Amino acid sequence: DSGVTQTPKHLITATGQRVTLRCSPRSGDLSVYWYQQSLDQGLQFLIQYYNGEERAKGNILERFSAQQFPDLHSELNLSSLELGDSALYFCASSDGSGANVLTFGAGSRLTVL
């Protein structure tokens, strides 16, 4: 158990729908990152939050949004879903200071039919 909790583990939905993925970071970590891994692809950085504020943005589609709440958990909202959004979505956390390590959750597998 890495200490980073992601829910749900699996999600199957239809095109055009909206889903929310949730992440609770490791205790003490202030920074949360979201990554997308499509089939046999690498980890594509989506967005990073630090203590509630957006810190960096990657290749995140306009249909996707995220936020980090005062209790430091984060949610990734995916809307108007398309078949190509089917992927593993990973959340990772770090303490956000200096040279440190990302700790990943087990991921949420989204299947869009």
Closest CB to other proteins among 14 and 97? 97
15 binds other proteins (CB under 8 A): no
Closest CB to other proteins among 52 and 104? 104
Structure tokens belonging to residue 111: 């299947």
Q: Which letter does DSSP use for residue 106 in this model?
A: -
Contacts of residue 85, defined as CB under 8 A and 6 or more positions apart, other chains included, come to 78, 110, 112
Gyration radius of the chain over CA positions = 13
> Would you say 93 and 75 are in contact if contact means Cβ atoms under 8 Å apart?
no
> Would you say 98 and 45 are in contact if contact means Cβ atoms under 8 Å apart?
no
Closest CB to other proteins among 24 and 94? 94
Give the per-residue contact string, 36-75, with other proteins (x = CB under 8 A; - = no). -----xxxxx--x-x----xx-x-----------------
Amino acid at 100: N
What does the binding site for other proteins look like in residue numbers (CB under 8 A)?
2, 4, 31, 33, 35, 41-45, 48, 50, 55-56, 58, 90, 92, 94, 96, 98-107
